[in-house]
Structure formats: C-alpha cells, structure tokens
C-alpha cells in the first residue's frame, strides 16, 4: 500500500500578505521621496582645484606664493586669506598681484578675490616662513576652505 504524505512547500497566506504590504509601503515611500524631492535640502560645498608655488626672494628675505586656479568645479568664486592681505592688519595691496579679470578692489571682507573661473592666478609677496595662505570657495553664500598652504622655510 502506498501512502501519500502532504508536504507544505509554500508560504502561508498570512506571511505572503505581510510581505506584499511591506513591499507596497517601501515602494510608496521611495516614490513619495522622488515626487516631493526630499533630498533637495542637502547643501553642496564649493569645490575647485588650485595649485601653490612658493619661491624665496633673496633681496628682501621673504617668500612669494603663487596661487593658480586649475579648475572651478562648482564654486561661484574663490578668495585668498593670508597675513599680508588680512583686513585686520590693514590693506596691503602692494603685496598682492592679480592675473586675470579680477580687480584688486573685488574683495570679501578685505580678502582679495582670486577667481570666478579657471586660469586665474594671484601672487602674494612679503610672506614669512610659517605663514598660512588659505583659498576659500564660495557657493551660494556658503564658504568652504578649498586648500591651505603653509610657507615652508627653505632657507633654514
């Protein structure tokens, strides 16, 4: 005599309904996120690429820093903070030479603007070993430090 045994190989109806409801809720949340654009509140930082070139001036025993904009990814503009053009120490425009279409009068709180696009450069002279030069990018009014370079003592 042959006996037949019943084997349950499927998912119970209750578990199946729970899984379908969970999948529906997840899909609804994802679609609502795209429709309501919930990710738009995430802010972007300014981004750019700059290069630094340091040289020593034997005549006045000081350093000069050339800063070049290599790429402007998404920054509105860049500006430079250094000890010689810091607004708290007075305006020292004779130590700043700008190459490009940015004027020396274009500044942000006393700091000289560097660039609105790639290919501009600024030369800052009369720096000392240990001085720090920062390039700050601005995007929609928000400032981000793009790069910082400290003058290295190459004559010590």
Are 36 and 99 in contact by the 8 Å Cβ rule? The answer is no
Angle (nearest 5°) at CA 89 between 84 and 92: 45
pLDDT at 95: 56
Are 69 and 53 in contact by the 8 Å Cβ rule? The answer is no
pLDDT at 97: 59
DSSP 139: E
DSSP string, 68-137: EEEEESS-SEEEEE-GGG-GGG---GGGEEEESS--TT-EETTEEEEESSTT-EEEEEEE-TT-EEEEEE
pLDDT at 68: 86
Q: What's the Cα-to-Cα distance from 148 to each of 49, 59, 63, 85, 155, rounded to whole Å?
A: 12, 26, 16, 15, 21
pLDDT digit string (tens) for 62-81?
A: 898 888 888 888 888 888 88
pLDDT at 105: 42
Task: Give the span between the Cα atoms of 71 and 75, in whole angstroms.
Answer: 10
Q: Within the chain, which residues score under 70 in pLDDT?
A: 1-9, 38-42, 85-116, 156
Q: Which residue has the tokens 């700059």?
A: 50
pLDDT at 138: 85
Q: Is the pTM of this model over 0.85?
A: no
How far apart, in Å, do the first and last CA atoms of the chain sit? 103
pLDDT digit string (tens) for 26-35?
A: 999 988 888 8
């Amino acid at each position: 005599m042959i006996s037949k045994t019943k084997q349950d190989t499927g998912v119970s109806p209750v578990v199946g309904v729970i899984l379908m409801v969970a999948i529906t809720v997840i899909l609804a949340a994802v679609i609502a996120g795209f429709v309501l654009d919930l990710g738009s509140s995430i802010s972007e930082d300014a981004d750019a690429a700059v290069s630094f070139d340091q040289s020593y001036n034997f005549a006045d025993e000081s350093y000069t820093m050339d800063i070049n904009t290599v790429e402007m990814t998404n920054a509105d503009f860049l500006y430079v903070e250094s000890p010689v053009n810091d607004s708290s120490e007075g305006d020292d425009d004779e130590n700043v030479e700008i190459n490009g279409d940015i004027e020396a009068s274009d500044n942000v709180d006393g700091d000289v603007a560097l660039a609105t696009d790639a290919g501009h450069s600024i030369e800052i002279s009369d720096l000392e070993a240990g001085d720090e030069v920062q390039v700050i990018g601005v995007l929609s009014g928000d400032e981000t430090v793009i790069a910082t370079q400290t003058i290295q003592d190459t004559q010590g």
